[in-house]
Amino acid sequence: MKEKKKKISLDFENHRLEVIVRQCNFFERFLGLMFTRRKNAEALLFEFNQPTSIRIHSFFVFFPFIAIWLDEKDKIINVEKVNPFKLDIKGPRNFKKLLEIPLNKKYSKEFSFVVDN
């Protein structure tokens, strides 16, 4: 199966970021970053057909990551740094997309301002 990549542009507190993400299919949504090695982890995009309010967790994710919830126009609704083995992360209501950005060498510098806030 061929991986689907997509470029997402984000505006966050006077910062403009472009990040290439891997679009997750239905089954990949269940795994997310679980069991991934930090150095190999890539940014993931979860897209939903309808607005949703699902919760996420970080069980078996052995490194911190940034969760970014987006609306249908890629506008940021909420951002949260997620630490490993957190049971219940409640996102906002009615989001259409979720990004999981691993805090590794590839992304940490670019997203350091998110972690600092």
Q: What is the pLDDT of residue 27?
A: 85
Q: What is the pLDDT of residue 49?
A: 94
Q: What is the pLDDT of residue 2?
A: 63
Q: What is the pLDDT of residue 94?
A: 94
Helix (H) or strand (E) holding 114: helix 112-116
pTM of the prediction?
Answer: 0.90
Work out the number of other CB atoms within 10 angstroms of the CB of residue 33. 22
Cα 14 to Cα 23: distance, rounded to the nearest angstrom: 26
Look up the CATH number of domain 4-116: 2.60.120.1140
All residue ranges of the chain with pLDDT < 50 are none
Q: What is the pLDDT of residue 116?
A: 64
Q: What is the pLDDT of residue 81?
A: 94
Q: Where are the domains of the chain?
A: 4-116
Q: Which two tokens stand for residue 48?
A: 């939903």
